[in-house]
Chain A
Amino acid sequence: MSEATHAREARLLPARPAAARTLRYWPWLAALLVSVVLPWLFYDWQHARHVGFIVSVLSQTGMMIIFALSFNMLMGQAGLLSFCHSVLFGLAGYSTVHFLNAAGAGDLPVPMELIPLLAGLSGLGFAAVFGYIATKQRSTAFAMITLGIVQLVTTAATMFHHFFGGEGGVKTDRMIDNSLLGLKYAHAIEVYYLIVAWTLIAAIGMYFQTNTPLGRMANACRDNHERAQFVGYDPRIVRFLQFSLAGFYAGIAGGLFAITYEIVTFDAVAAPLAANALLMAYIGGATTFVGPVLGAILITLLQSVVSLMSNSWLVYVGVLFITMVIFAPAGITGIILKHAPIMRAGLMRHLVLPYSRVLVPGVIVLFGSIGLVELLSFFTIGRAQGKRLELFGQPLDIQSAVPWLICLVCLLGGGFWLARESRKFRRVWDGLMEIAQPGGSP
């Protein structure tokens, strides 16, 4: 925009006071506060230490937030479905292990706090190499190339010893005795705060990137790549740059992974991890910036916590995806944003009762279906393993038909009730939308 336009704007729009400007970023500050305070809520006062499992899950969540956000730079922002994002993550992880080993031996005078930056740079390098090949195409061909790349690199990672350490992977010790803050990183909580810091830096970086010309052109190429060419940009270059930058941030996540676990194996480059990124971004909502963050938190919780309670967690993941895909393709943030018109019109309180009426049968259906899955799983697998099925500490007798009947009734009965309530909900919703946006949405 020209100087004259800027000047005109400055005169027309009232200047915002500094405090109000800062307050615009309140979600970021709140998130920072929560992530700093959260481990202390789970402090084990009796043993005077943090609950290790909680710190692990939180650390993993932090890494996955960066990973999912960087993946969404490609999927949500640029319309590029990349199956090889885990390759960038994992290769940066392998590199970081080698960096740490060199730093520990005194050959690399880089403090621990800057190691993730090195990891990011290596991610950038690898992304440039792979991106050069992959971004020659777009859409489905691009996706297929990335599929080939991820299979190639995964197989190579199990074969070669010098960089990948073969099937056993490579190990390191993160206590390299070089820190800007004088920390030893012996305890998981110190690594956690390093992760928090870098997650914030990466998220801020990616957020501002969406407002840069490159970010905007990526959106344009996603929406209509032919028209983007008419504006004067080469979509290929845009794709390439976006891919490389996404690789930088994925590399940061990979570096943090290496620091936390001190071991990197081929599953850090393999397709299931890339699929994870896809799920996180999609379920959280690929159309918003914060969607992948929500998705990362949810999926990490599912994987770490639910998998401890049930061996059928894969089934739940599958059902969750299918439900989201059919009913909520814009993800969780999509659902929240749908309420925006009603919220603006101040009519949210009218939804409280309909929601609670849907919630009850919903919970019953959930209980019934989870019960059936667990019963079936226990019946065929768990029982032979000698486990006893317990629900909230009460043992269940699987030989009797009672638990099965209860779950079936919950599922079917709850299902019919839910269908009825959702029809009623739909009517209330449509009514409210009509009031909030008379004549349909703009």
Chain B
Amino acid sequence: MQVGLISLLDGLVYGMLLFMLASGLTLILSMMGVLNFAHASVYMLGAYFAYQIDQWAGFWPALVIAPALCGAIGAAIEVWGLRRVHHNGHIAELLFTFGLVFIIGRGVQMIWGMLPMAYRVPAGLDFPLFSLYGENFPAYRGFMLLVSGGMLFATWLLLKKTRIGLIIQASLIHPGMVSALGHNVPLVFTTVFAGGSFLAGLAGVIAGNYLTTESAMADAMGPIVFVVVIFGGLGSLAGCFIASILMGMVQTFSVVFDYSFADALKPFGVTLAANDLLGEILTIPMSRIGPLVPYALLILILVFRPRGLMGTRET
């Protein structure tokens, strides 16, 4: 029970972090069909910017300025880069973002060096919020939940209750028609891309001091975010939310399960040894193959339900 409850909370925090990253990507992918590999790189930039601003001005200014910078960078990428390659097809856009990954990765190393940055949790939030079964739940994690929850609410509000949100929603599904109705769809695209980058930057600011800030951050987060986006389905933020929480829980709970398939078969009197590859696969405990599970889930859902959990379009 103790383990379950604590893991639930931890899974929630991690899931909300994933959601912050994935929501921006799902908007971009849904609207423009662009597989934005540079999304995780913008997340990394957000963390580095936050570290730098934190050094100069403190955490709270960083919380506001760093995401704004990332949003600006996103807009720049869209206007000067993606728009030019858009007519060359999806693969061209993908490769463009690929090239960006290399450049941003090396750029970060050149500007800040190769070692991890000492980007710390602000002193004002560095205390235990409450104690559950003797284990502290840090206030900073509560803050993370607050920010990601608040951001989710704000995004929902923006999309569902404002006029611009209406236009964005329509452009998600029928960009041609929206353009025919007289709206500036390219501007909408730029706004969405900038917004997505803003969210990625915000995720970086929050996560940079919770996890470590180093040049390998982008490679670490990148694949799992794609899994979340595809699993949740294109065109659906709610699906993305559910997928994020699910993946967060899966990653967290798989650690606490020390059982393997072989253990499940033991009550039936079947004993397996790790003498060959099959035996190894069946006797390895869940806690060690945890990282594999999201990818297995991704493959399964794409095979049986390619639109994802709640996608509004076929991928």
Given A81-B91, A148-B299, A162-B277, decide whether A318 and B289 contact each other with a Cβ distance below 8 A: no
Which residue of the partner chain, among A155, A317, A376, contacts B295 with CB atoms under 8 Å?
Answer: A155
**A319 engages B99 (CB within 8 Å):** yes
**B99 engages A322 (CB within 8 Å):** yes
Chain B residues closer than 8 Å to A319, beta-carbon distance: 99, 103
Within 8 A of B (CB), among A150-167: 151-152, 155-156, 159-163
Given A144-B315, A326-B84, decide whether A380 and B299 contact each other with a Cβ distance below 8 A: no
Chain A residues closer than 8 Å to B292, beta-carbon distance: 152, 155-156, 159
Which residue of the partner chain, among B90, B96, B299, contacts A133 with CB atoms under 8 Å?
Answer: B299
Chain A residues closer than 8 Å to B111, beta-carbon distance: 380
Q: Cβ of A65 < 8 Å from any Cβ of B? A: no
Q: Cβ of B303 < 8 Å from any Cβ of A? A: yes
Q: Cβ of B61 < 8 Å from any Cβ of A? A: no
Chain A residues closer than 8 Å to B299, beta-carbon distance: 133, 145, 148-149, 152
**Smallest Cβ-Cβ distance to A316: which chain B residue:** B102
Q: Cβ of A329 < 8 Å from any Cβ of B? A: yes
**B99 engages A148 (CB within 8 Å):** no
Q: Cβ of B130 < 8 Å from any Cβ of A? A: no
A-contacting 9-mer, from B48-56, B250-258, B280-288: B280-288
Given A161-B280, A326-B81, decide whether A318 and B100 contact each other with a Cβ distance below 8 A: yes
A selection of 16 A-B contacts at a CB cut-off of 8 Å is A141-B314, A144-B315, A151-B223, A152-B299, A156-B292, A159-B288, A160-B280, A161-B280, A162-B276, A162-B280, A275-B98, A282-B91, A286-B91, A318-B100, A318-B101, A322-B100
Chain A residues closer than 8 Å to B106, beta-carbon distance: 312, 314-315, 318, 377
**A329 engages B101 (CB within 8 Å):** no
**Smallest Cβ-Cβ distance to B113: which chain A residue:** A380
**B91 engages A145 (CB within 8 Å):** no
**Smallest Cβ-Cβ distance to A321: which chain B residue:** B99
**B88 engages A312 (CB within 8 Å):** no
Q: Is the interface of B mostly helix, strand, loop or mixed?
A: helix
Given A137-B306, A160-B277, decide whether A314 and B92 contact each other with a Cβ distance below 8 A: no
Q: Cβ of A147 < 8 Å from any Cβ of B? A: yes
**A148 engages B227 (CB within 8 Å):** yes
> What's the minimum C-beta distance from B116 to chain A, rounded to whole angstroms?
15
**A137 engages B303 (CB within 8 Å):** yes
Q: Cβ of B226 < 8 Å from any Cβ of A? A: yes
* Assembly CA distance A325 to B243 (angstroms): 33
**A312 engages B110 (CB within 8 Å):** yes
Chain A residues closer than 8 Å to B99, beta-carbon distance: 317-322, 325
> What's the minimum C-beta distance from A374 to chain B, rounded to whole angstroms?
10
Q: Cβ of A136 < 8 Å from any Cβ of B? A: yes
Q: Cβ of B186 < 8 Å from any Cβ of A? A: no
Question: Interface digits, A131-145 against B, CB 8 Å rule (1 contact, 0 not)?
Answer: 001001101110111
| Those 10 A-B pairs whose CB atoms lie nearest each other, nearest first | A318-B102, A321-B99, A329-B88, A148-B298, A318-B103, A322-B99, A162-B277, A318-B99, A152-B295, A148-B299
**B302 engages A141 (CB within 8 Å):** yes
Question: Interface digits, B288-300 against A, CB 8 Å rule (1 contact, 0 not)?
Answer: 1101100110110
Point out residues on B near A: beta carbons under 8 Å: 33, 35, 81, 84-85, 88-96, 98-103, 105-107, 109-111, 113-114, 223, 226-227, 230, 274-277, 279-281, 284, 288-289, 291-292, 295-296, 298-299, 302-303, 306, 314-315
**A381 engages B295 (CB within 8 Å):** no
Chain A residues closer than 8 Å to B35, beta-carbon distance: 140, 143
* Assembly CA distance A375 to B277 (angstroms): 50
Q: Cβ of A351 < 8 Å from any Cβ of B? A: no
**A326 engages B85 (CB within 8 Å):** yes
**A322 engages B91 (CB within 8 Å):** no
Q: Cβ of A102 < 8 Å from any Cβ of B? A: no
Q: Cβ of A92 < 8 Å from any Cβ of B? A: no
Chain A residues closer than 8 Å to B226, beta-carbon distance: 144, 147
> What's the minimum C-beta distance from A164 to chain B, rounded to whole angstroms?
8
**B277 engages A137 (CB within 8 Å):** no
> What's the minimum C-beta distance from B265 to chain A, rounded to whole angstroms?
19
